[in-house]
Amino acid sequence: MTIYLQTLKRDLRVAIRNPSSVLNPLLFFIISVSLFPLAISPEASVLKEIAAGIIWVASMLAVLLSLNALFHHDFENGVLEQMVTSHHSLPLLILSKITAHWILTGIPIILLSPLLGLFLFLDSESVKVLMLTLLLATPSLSLIGAIGASLIVGIKNSGMLLSLLILPLYIPILIFASSAVSQAQFGLDITGQLYFLATILVVSIMTTPFVSALALKISLE
Protein backbone atom coordinates (compact mmCIF):
# COMPACT_ATOMS: atom_id res chain seq x y z
CA MET A 1 0.00 0.00 0.00
CA THR A 2 2.89 2.37 0.72
CA ILE A 3 4.42 1.99 -2.73
CA TYR A 4 0.95 2.31 -4.25
CA LEU A 5 0.35 5.66 -2.54
CA GLN A 6 3.86 6.91 -3.32
CA THR A 7 3.44 6.13 -7.02
CA LEU A 8 0.01 7.75 -7.01
CA LYS A 9 1.34 10.96 -5.41
CA ARG A 10 4.27 11.05 -7.83
CA ASP A 11 2.04 10.76 -10.90
CA LEU A 12 -0.28 13.47 -9.59
CA ARG A 13 2.68 15.80 -8.98
CA VAL A 14 4.04 15.14 -12.48
CA ALA A 15 0.63 15.93 -13.97
CA ILE A 16 0.39 19.20 -12.02
CA ARG A 17 3.78 20.24 -13.40
CA ASN A 18 2.59 19.43 -16.93
CA PRO A 19 -1.03 20.67 -16.92
CA SER A 20 -1.46 20.50 -20.70
CA SER A 21 -1.61 16.70 -20.57
CA VAL A 22 -4.62 16.99 -18.26
CA LEU A 23 -6.35 20.05 -19.70
CA ASN A 24 -6.18 19.09 -23.39
CA PRO A 25 -8.48 16.02 -23.09
CA LEU A 26 -10.95 17.98 -20.95
CA LEU A 27 -11.04 20.89 -23.40
CA PHE A 28 -11.56 18.39 -26.20
CA PHE A 29 -14.45 16.88 -24.23
CA ILE A 30 -16.16 20.24 -23.71
CA ILE A 31 -15.61 21.53 -27.24
CA SER A 32 -16.70 18.33 -28.99
CA VAL A 33 -19.96 18.20 -27.01
CA SER A 34 -20.58 21.90 -27.65
CA LEU A 35 -20.22 21.49 -31.41
CA PHE A 36 -23.02 18.95 -31.80
CA PRO A 37 -25.90 21.48 -31.48
CA LEU A 38 -24.27 23.53 -34.24
CA ALA A 39 -23.82 20.53 -36.53
CA ILE A 40 -27.14 18.74 -35.94
CA SER A 41 -29.89 20.94 -34.56
CA PRO A 42 -30.42 23.38 -31.69
CA GLU A 43 -33.89 21.95 -31.07
CA ALA A 44 -34.34 20.67 -27.51
CA SER A 45 -36.33 17.60 -28.60
CA VAL A 46 -33.57 16.47 -30.97
CA LEU A 47 -30.65 17.08 -28.62
CA LYS A 48 -32.39 15.43 -25.69
CA GLU A 49 -32.73 12.16 -27.60
CA ILE A 50 -29.06 11.95 -28.56
CA ALA A 51 -27.50 13.68 -25.53
CA ALA A 52 -26.42 10.45 -23.84
CA GLY A 53 -24.64 9.19 -26.95
CA ILE A 54 -22.97 12.56 -27.55
CA ILE A 55 -21.57 12.85 -24.03
CA TRP A 56 -20.49 9.24 -23.87
CA VAL A 57 -18.70 9.26 -27.23
CA ALA A 58 -16.94 12.49 -26.27
CA SER A 59 -15.96 10.97 -22.90
CA MET A 60 -14.48 7.89 -24.54
CA LEU A 61 -12.47 9.94 -27.02
CA ALA A 62 -11.24 12.27 -24.27
CA VAL A 63 -10.02 9.32 -22.20
CA LEU A 64 -8.43 7.81 -25.30
CA LEU A 65 -6.66 11.10 -26.02
CA SER A 66 -5.15 11.12 -22.54
CA LEU A 67 -3.92 7.52 -22.59
CA ASN A 68 -0.75 8.34 -24.54
CA ALA A 69 0.63 10.08 -21.46
CA LEU A 70 -0.02 7.12 -19.14
CA PHE A 71 3.38 5.47 -19.66
CA HIS A 72 5.03 7.79 -22.19
CA HIS A 73 6.92 10.11 -19.81
CA ASP A 74 8.14 7.27 -17.62
CA PHE A 75 9.32 5.41 -20.70
CA GLU A 76 11.32 8.39 -21.95
CA ASN A 77 12.90 9.00 -18.53
CA GLY A 78 13.81 5.36 -17.94
CA VAL A 79 11.52 5.13 -14.91
CA LEU A 80 9.39 2.47 -16.57
CA GLU A 81 12.33 0.08 -16.92
CA GLN A 82 13.16 0.59 -13.24
CA MET A 83 9.54 -0.23 -12.34
CA VAL A 84 9.67 -3.45 -14.36
CA THR A 85 12.96 -4.59 -12.83
CA SER A 86 12.20 -3.51 -9.24
CA HIS A 87 11.21 -5.94 -6.50
CA HIS A 88 7.84 -4.24 -6.11
CA SER A 89 4.69 -5.70 -7.63
CA LEU A 90 4.44 -4.37 -11.18
CA PRO A 91 0.62 -4.87 -11.41
CA LEU A 92 0.24 -2.82 -8.21
CA LEU A 93 2.40 -0.01 -9.62
CA ILE A 94 0.38 -0.03 -12.84
CA LEU A 95 -2.87 0.05 -10.88
CA SER A 96 -1.57 3.11 -9.05
CA LYS A 97 -0.78 4.85 -12.35
CA ILE A 98 -4.24 3.95 -13.67
CA THR A 99 -5.80 5.40 -10.51
CA ALA A 100 -3.92 8.65 -11.06
CA HIS A 101 -5.09 8.72 -14.67
CA TRP A 102 -8.71 8.28 -13.58
CA ILE A 103 -8.42 10.99 -10.92
CA LEU A 104 -7.03 13.43 -13.49
CA THR A 105 -9.35 12.52 -16.38
CA GLY A 106 -12.35 10.51 -15.21
CA ILE A 107 -13.35 12.62 -12.20
CA PRO A 108 -13.27 15.94 -14.12
CA ILE A 109 -15.42 14.37 -16.85
CA ILE A 110 -17.92 13.20 -14.22
CA LEU A 111 -18.02 16.69 -12.67
CA LEU A 112 -18.46 18.39 -16.04
CA SER A 113 -21.17 16.01 -17.27
CA PRO A 114 -24.12 17.67 -15.41
CA LEU A 115 -23.42 21.02 -17.03
CA LEU A 116 -23.10 19.48 -20.48
CA GLY A 117 -26.17 17.33 -19.86
CA LEU A 118 -28.24 20.39 -19.02
CA PHE A 119 -26.75 22.13 -22.05
CA LEU A 120 -28.19 19.29 -24.15
CA PHE A 121 -31.58 19.58 -22.38
CA LEU A 122 -31.38 16.43 -20.26
CA ASP A 123 -33.73 16.38 -17.29
CA SER A 124 -32.40 16.15 -13.74
CA GLU A 125 -33.09 12.42 -13.37
CA SER A 126 -31.29 11.62 -16.61
CA VAL A 127 -28.34 13.75 -15.51
CA LYS A 128 -28.10 11.72 -12.28
CA VAL A 129 -28.10 8.47 -14.27
CA LEU A 130 -25.49 9.92 -16.63
CA MET A 131 -23.20 10.72 -13.71
CA LEU A 132 -23.77 7.26 -12.24
CA THR A 133 -22.86 5.53 -15.50
CA LEU A 134 -19.74 7.68 -15.81
CA LEU A 135 -18.78 6.89 -12.22
CA LEU A 136 -19.09 3.17 -12.90
CA ALA A 137 -17.55 3.11 -16.36
CA THR A 138 -14.80 5.73 -16.55
CA PRO A 139 -12.51 3.62 -14.31
CA SER A 140 -13.06 0.75 -16.76
CA LEU A 141 -12.08 3.04 -19.63
CA SER A 142 -8.80 3.84 -17.88
CA LEU A 143 -8.15 0.22 -16.95
CA ILE A 144 -8.84 -1.19 -20.40
CA GLY A 145 -6.98 1.67 -22.05
CA ALA A 146 -3.89 0.85 -19.97
CA ILE A 147 -3.59 -2.45 -21.83
CA GLY A 148 -3.35 -0.68 -25.17
CA ALA A 149 -1.03 1.99 -23.78
CA SER A 150 1.34 -0.67 -22.44
CA LEU A 151 1.41 -2.49 -25.79
CA ILE A 152 2.46 0.56 -27.82
CA VAL A 153 4.63 2.27 -25.20
CA GLY A 154 7.79 2.04 -27.32
CA ILE A 155 6.19 3.08 -30.62
CA LYS A 156 6.35 6.71 -31.76
CA ASN A 157 3.24 8.43 -33.15
CA SER A 158 1.08 5.56 -31.99
CA GLY A 159 -2.19 7.44 -31.45
CA MET A 160 -3.99 5.81 -34.36
CA LEU A 161 -2.76 2.34 -33.40
CA LEU A 162 -3.96 2.87 -29.83
CA SER A 163 -7.40 3.85 -31.13
CA LEU A 164 -7.63 0.72 -33.26
CA LEU A 165 -6.66 -1.45 -30.29
CA ILE A 166 -8.90 0.10 -27.65
CA LEU A 167 -12.05 1.47 -29.29
CA PRO A 168 -13.55 -1.98 -30.08
CA LEU A 169 -13.19 -2.88 -26.38
CA TYR A 170 -15.04 0.29 -25.39
CA ILE A 171 -18.12 -0.49 -27.49
CA PRO A 172 -19.99 -2.62 -24.87
CA ILE A 173 -19.49 0.12 -22.27
CA LEU A 174 -20.78 2.74 -24.70
CA ILE A 175 -23.87 0.70 -25.58
CA PHE A 176 -24.98 -0.08 -22.04
CA ALA A 177 -24.09 3.33 -20.55
CA SER A 178 -25.91 5.35 -23.20
CA SER A 179 -28.82 2.88 -23.09
CA ALA A 180 -29.18 3.42 -19.34
CA VAL A 181 -29.47 7.19 -19.77
CA SER A 182 -31.90 6.86 -22.68
CA GLN A 183 -34.16 4.47 -20.74
CA ALA A 184 -34.05 6.73 -17.68
CA GLN A 185 -35.57 9.48 -19.81
CA PHE A 186 -38.66 7.29 -20.29
CA GLY A 187 -38.80 6.10 -16.69
CA LEU A 188 -37.74 2.54 -17.55
CA ASP A 189 -35.71 0.21 -15.34
CA ILE A 190 -31.93 0.52 -15.79
CA THR A 191 -30.77 -2.08 -13.25
CA GLY A 192 -29.49 -4.46 -15.93
CA GLN A 193 -27.29 -1.85 -17.56
CA LEU A 194 -25.83 -0.76 -14.23
CA TYR A 195 -25.08 -4.35 -13.23
CA PHE A 196 -23.34 -4.89 -16.54
CA LEU A 197 -21.17 -1.77 -16.09
CA ALA A 198 -20.34 -2.80 -12.51
CA THR A 199 -19.35 -6.29 -13.70
CA ILE A 200 -17.02 -4.83 -16.33
CA LEU A 201 -15.44 -2.64 -13.64
CA VAL A 202 -14.84 -5.55 -11.24
CA VAL A 203 -13.41 -7.79 -13.98
CA SER A 204 -11.21 -4.94 -15.24
CA ILE A 205 -9.77 -4.26 -11.79
CA MET A 206 -9.01 -7.94 -11.31
CA THR A 207 -7.39 -8.59 -14.69
CA THR A 208 -6.08 -5.50 -16.49
CA PRO A 209 -3.16 -4.66 -14.13
CA PHE A 210 -1.73 -8.14 -14.71
CA VAL A 211 -2.32 -8.03 -18.46
CA SER A 212 -0.76 -4.56 -18.65
CA ALA A 213 2.25 -5.73 -16.64
CA LEU A 214 2.80 -8.62 -19.05
CA ALA A 215 2.37 -6.32 -22.05
CA LEU A 216 4.89 -3.84 -20.62
CA LYS A 217 7.49 -6.55 -20.12
CA ILE A 218 7.00 -7.69 -23.71
CA SER A 219 7.18 -4.14 -25.06
CA LEU A 220 10.40 -3.34 -23.19
CA GLU A 221 12.25 -6.51 -24.20
Q: Which pLDDT belongs to residue 185?
A: 86
Q: How many other C-beta atoms lie within 10 A of the C-beta of residue 165?
A: 17
Q: Which pLDDT belongs to residue 157?
A: 65
3-state helix, strand, coil in the chain (%, to 5): 85, 0, 15
pLDDT digit string (tens) for 62-121? Answer: 998 888 778 777 777 777 777 777 777 888 888 888 998 899 999 999 999 999 988 888
Q: pLDDT (tens digit, 0 to 9) for every residue of the chain, 221 residues total?
A: 677 788 788 878 877 887 777 788 899 999 999 888 888 878 888 888 888 889 999 999 999 888 877 877 777 777 777 777 777 788 888 888 899 889 999 999 999 999 998 888 888 888 999 999 999 999 999 999 988 888 888 676 666 778 888 888 999 999 999 999 988 888 888 999 999 999 999 999 999 989 988 888 877 76
Q: Which pLDDT belongs to residue 206?
A: 92
**C-alpha separations of 183 from 50, 57, 186, 190 in Å:** 12, 17, 5, 7
Which pTM does this prediction carry?
0.88
